[in-house]
Copies of this chain bind each other. A is one copy, B any other.
Amino acid sequence: MKKDTSTEAKIKEAAKTVFLAKGFEGCTSREIANAAGMNVALVNYYFRSKSQLFKLVFQSAVEDIVLSTVHIFKTEQTLIEKMRYFIEKEYEFLAKHPEIPNFIINEMNREDGCFIEYNHLFQQVAETGIFNECMTEQAAGRMREISLVSMILLIMSNCQYPTISKKLMQSIHQISEDEYAGQLISHRSHVTEMIIAYLFPKNLSNT
Protein backbone atom coordinates (compact mmCIF):
# COMPACT_ATOMS: atom_id res chain seq x y z
CA MET A 1 0.00 0.00 0.00
CA LYS A 2 1.99 2.94 -1.31
CA LYS A 3 0.87 6.42 -0.41
CA ASP A 4 -0.24 8.38 -3.43
CA THR A 5 1.76 11.58 -3.54
CA SER A 6 0.51 12.72 -6.92
CA THR A 7 -0.84 16.21 -7.35
CA GLU A 8 -4.33 14.87 -7.87
CA ALA A 9 -4.24 12.90 -4.62
CA LYS A 10 -2.78 15.81 -2.68
CA ILE A 11 -5.54 18.11 -3.83
CA LYS A 12 -8.24 15.59 -3.00
CA GLU A 13 -6.78 15.05 0.45
CA ALA A 14 -6.54 18.77 1.12
CA ALA A 15 -10.08 19.21 -0.17
CA LYS A 16 -11.34 16.59 2.25
CA THR A 17 -9.72 18.36 5.17
CA VAL A 18 -10.96 21.80 4.19
CA PHE A 19 -14.47 20.76 3.12
CA LEU A 20 -14.99 18.74 6.31
CA ALA A 21 -13.88 21.64 8.43
CA LYS A 22 -15.73 24.45 6.69
CA GLY A 23 -18.31 22.98 4.36
CA PHE A 24 -18.81 23.67 0.68
CA GLU A 25 -19.86 27.28 1.05
CA GLY A 26 -17.42 28.00 3.85
CA CYS A 27 -14.26 27.67 1.80
CA THR A 28 -12.80 28.71 -1.55
CA SER A 29 -11.00 26.92 -4.35
CA ARG A 30 -7.89 28.93 -3.57
CA GLU A 31 -8.04 27.80 0.05
CA ILE A 32 -8.04 24.17 -1.03
CA ALA A 33 -5.22 24.76 -3.50
CA ASN A 34 -3.14 26.46 -0.83
CA ALA A 35 -3.76 23.66 1.63
CA ALA A 36 -2.45 21.27 -1.00
CA GLY A 37 0.45 23.57 -1.84
CA MET A 38 -0.76 23.85 -5.39
CA ASN A 39 -1.92 26.42 -7.91
CA VAL A 40 -5.63 27.25 -8.06
CA ALA A 41 -5.97 26.24 -11.65
CA LEU A 42 -4.91 22.70 -10.84
CA VAL A 43 -8.09 22.13 -8.87
CA ASN A 44 -10.13 22.55 -12.01
CA TYR A 45 -7.51 20.90 -14.18
CA TYR A 46 -7.92 17.64 -12.26
CA PHE A 47 -11.50 17.89 -11.01
CA ARG A 48 -13.29 20.15 -13.51
CA SER A 49 -14.96 22.25 -10.82
CA LYS A 50 -15.26 22.90 -7.11
CA SER A 51 -18.65 21.13 -7.04
CA GLN A 52 -17.26 18.08 -8.78
CA LEU A 53 -14.45 17.80 -6.26
CA PHE A 54 -16.91 18.30 -3.44
CA LYS A 55 -19.08 15.45 -4.60
CA LEU A 56 -16.14 13.08 -4.47
CA VAL A 57 -15.27 14.22 -0.95
CA PHE A 58 -18.85 14.02 0.23
CA GLN A 59 -19.33 10.55 -1.17
CA SER A 60 -16.18 9.27 0.47
CA ALA A 61 -17.15 10.82 3.81
CA VAL A 62 -20.49 9.03 3.72
CA GLU A 63 -18.80 5.79 2.77
CA ASP A 64 -16.27 6.20 5.57
CA ILE A 65 -18.90 6.35 8.26
CA VAL A 66 -21.24 3.76 6.79
CA LEU A 67 -18.67 1.15 5.91
CA SER A 68 -16.99 1.51 9.30
CA THR A 69 -20.13 -0.09 10.72
CA VAL A 70 -20.55 -2.94 8.28
CA HIS A 71 -17.80 -5.20 9.53
CA ILE A 72 -18.97 -4.74 13.11
CA PHE A 73 -22.29 -6.40 12.38
CA LYS A 74 -20.60 -9.25 10.61
CA THR A 75 -19.00 -10.53 13.81
CA GLU A 76 -20.24 -13.69 15.50
CA GLN A 77 -21.87 -12.27 18.58
CA THR A 78 -25.26 -12.08 20.20
CA LEU A 79 -27.41 -9.14 19.15
CA ILE A 80 -26.86 -7.38 22.43
CA GLU A 81 -23.12 -7.83 22.18
CA LYS A 82 -23.20 -6.45 18.65
CA MET A 83 -25.09 -3.39 19.81
CA ARG A 84 -22.69 -2.72 22.64
CA TYR A 85 -19.76 -3.21 20.33
CA PHE A 86 -21.29 -0.98 17.69
CA ILE A 87 -21.80 1.92 20.08
CA GLU A 88 -18.27 1.52 21.36
CA LYS A 89 -16.82 1.55 17.86
CA GLU A 90 -19.03 4.44 16.80
CA TYR A 91 -17.71 6.55 19.66
CA GLU A 92 -14.17 5.60 18.69
CA PHE A 93 -14.80 6.49 15.07
CA LEU A 94 -16.33 9.83 15.99
CA ALA A 95 -13.39 10.63 18.26
CA LYS A 96 -11.16 10.28 15.21
CA HIS A 97 -13.50 11.93 12.70
CA PRO A 98 -15.69 14.30 14.69
CA GLU A 99 -16.54 16.54 11.75
CA ILE A 100 -18.15 13.90 9.56
CA PRO A 101 -21.70 13.71 10.98
CA ASN A 102 -22.17 17.46 11.11
CA PHE A 103 -20.67 17.76 7.65
CA ILE A 104 -23.04 15.22 6.13
CA ILE A 105 -26.14 16.57 7.85
CA ASN A 106 -25.28 20.12 6.89
CA GLU A 107 -24.61 19.52 3.27
CA MET A 108 -27.78 17.46 2.97
CA ASN A 109 -29.83 20.31 4.35
CA ARG A 110 -28.30 22.77 1.91
CA GLU A 111 -30.28 24.00 -1.02
CA ASP A 112 -28.92 22.26 -4.11
CA GLY A 113 -27.29 20.09 -1.48
CA CYS A 114 -25.61 16.79 -2.03
CA PHE A 115 -28.02 14.05 -2.89
CA ILE A 116 -26.08 10.91 -3.49
CA GLU A 117 -27.08 7.33 -3.86
CA TYR A 118 -27.52 5.76 -0.43
CA ASN A 119 -29.28 2.62 -1.50
CA HIS A 120 -26.25 0.47 -2.05
CA LEU A 121 -24.64 1.68 1.17
CA PHE A 122 -27.71 1.06 3.29
CA GLN A 123 -28.01 -2.22 1.46
CA GLN A 124 -24.55 -3.25 2.60
CA VAL A 125 -25.57 -2.69 6.21
CA ALA A 126 -28.79 -4.58 5.65
CA GLU A 127 -26.86 -7.46 4.11
CA THR A 128 -25.07 -8.07 7.38
CA GLY A 129 -28.44 -9.40 8.50
CA ILE A 130 -28.56 -7.07 11.50
CA PHE A 131 -32.03 -5.80 10.71
CA ASN A 132 -33.43 -9.29 10.12
CA GLU A 133 -31.90 -10.36 13.39
CA CYS A 134 -33.78 -7.57 15.13
CA MET A 135 -37.04 -8.62 13.48
CA THR A 136 -36.51 -12.17 14.64
CA GLU A 137 -35.76 -11.15 18.20
CA GLN A 138 -38.76 -8.84 18.24
CA ALA A 139 -41.04 -11.58 16.93
CA ALA A 140 -39.71 -13.91 19.61
CA GLY A 141 -40.49 -11.37 22.29
CA ARG A 142 -36.86 -11.02 23.29
CA MET A 143 -36.57 -7.49 21.97
CA ARG A 144 -38.90 -4.52 22.32
CA GLU A 145 -41.25 -3.80 19.42
CA ILE A 146 -39.80 -0.78 17.69
CA SER A 147 -39.62 0.46 14.11
CA LEU A 148 -36.38 0.32 12.20
CA VAL A 149 -36.43 4.09 11.89
CA SER A 150 -36.76 4.55 15.64
CA MET A 151 -34.10 2.01 16.45
CA ILE A 152 -31.59 3.65 14.15
CA LEU A 153 -32.57 7.07 15.45
CA LEU A 154 -32.05 6.00 19.07
CA ILE A 155 -28.57 4.77 18.39
CA MET A 156 -27.45 7.55 16.06
CA SER A 157 -28.90 10.30 18.25
CA ASN A 158 -26.99 9.16 21.29
CA CYS A 159 -23.77 8.51 19.42
CA GLN A 160 -23.60 11.45 17.05
CA TYR A 161 -25.27 14.32 18.87
CA PRO A 162 -22.69 14.53 21.65
CA THR A 163 -19.99 14.97 19.02
CA ILE A 164 -22.00 17.33 16.84
CA SER A 165 -22.84 19.61 19.74
CA LYS A 166 -19.36 19.72 21.23
CA LYS A 167 -18.82 23.45 20.80
CA LEU A 168 -22.29 24.23 22.09
CA MET A 169 -21.86 22.01 25.14
CA GLN A 170 -18.45 23.45 25.92
CA SER A 171 -19.95 26.89 25.78
CA ILE A 172 -22.94 26.01 27.94
CA HIS A 173 -20.97 24.22 30.61
CA GLN A 174 -17.85 26.35 30.31
CA ILE A 175 -15.52 23.41 29.96
CA SER A 176 -12.42 22.74 27.90
CA GLU A 177 -12.04 20.37 25.01
CA ASP A 178 -10.29 17.83 27.22
CA GLU A 179 -12.92 18.05 29.93
CA TYR A 180 -15.62 17.42 27.38
CA ALA A 181 -13.72 14.46 25.95
CA GLY A 182 -13.64 13.07 29.48
CA GLN A 183 -17.37 13.56 29.84
CA LEU A 184 -17.92 11.67 26.61
CA ILE A 185 -16.21 8.59 28.01
CA SER A 186 -18.65 8.23 30.87
CA HIS A 187 -21.51 9.34 28.68
CA ARG A 188 -20.84 6.42 26.36
CA SER A 189 -21.50 3.98 29.19
CA HIS A 190 -24.76 5.69 30.06
CA VAL A 191 -25.84 5.58 26.44
CA THR A 192 -24.95 1.93 26.04
CA GLU A 193 -26.72 0.79 29.20
CA MET A 194 -29.75 2.96 28.55
CA ILE A 195 -30.28 1.73 25.02
CA ILE A 196 -29.64 -1.93 25.78
CA ALA A 197 -31.94 -1.80 28.79
CA TYR A 198 -34.65 -0.21 26.71
CA LEU A 199 -34.39 -2.42 23.66
CA PHE A 200 -34.05 -5.64 25.68
CA PRO A 201 -36.20 -5.02 28.76
CA LYS A 202 -36.30 -8.61 30.04
CA ASN A 203 -32.65 -9.28 29.64
CA LEU A 204 -30.97 -9.60 33.02
CA SER A 205 -27.35 -9.67 31.99
CA ASN A 206 -27.03 -5.88 31.75
CA THR A 207 -24.09 -4.72 33.78
Residues of A at under 8 Å CB distance from B? 21-23, 25-26, 102, 104-106, 108-111, 113, 115, 118-119, 122, 146-150, 152-154, 156-158, 160-162, 164-165, 167-169, 171-175, 180, 183, 186-187, 190-191, 193-195, 197-198
Contact = CB atoms under 8 A, between A and B. Distances in A.
A194 B25 contact: no
- Interface on chain A toward B: helix, strand, loop, or mixed SS? helix
A193 B115 CA distance: 34
Contact of A190 (B21, B148, B150, B171): B150
How many chain copies?
2
A169 B175 CA distance: 32
Contacts of A110: 22, 26
B153 A187 contact: yes
Contacts of A167: 105, 108-109, 113
A189 to B, nearest CB: 9
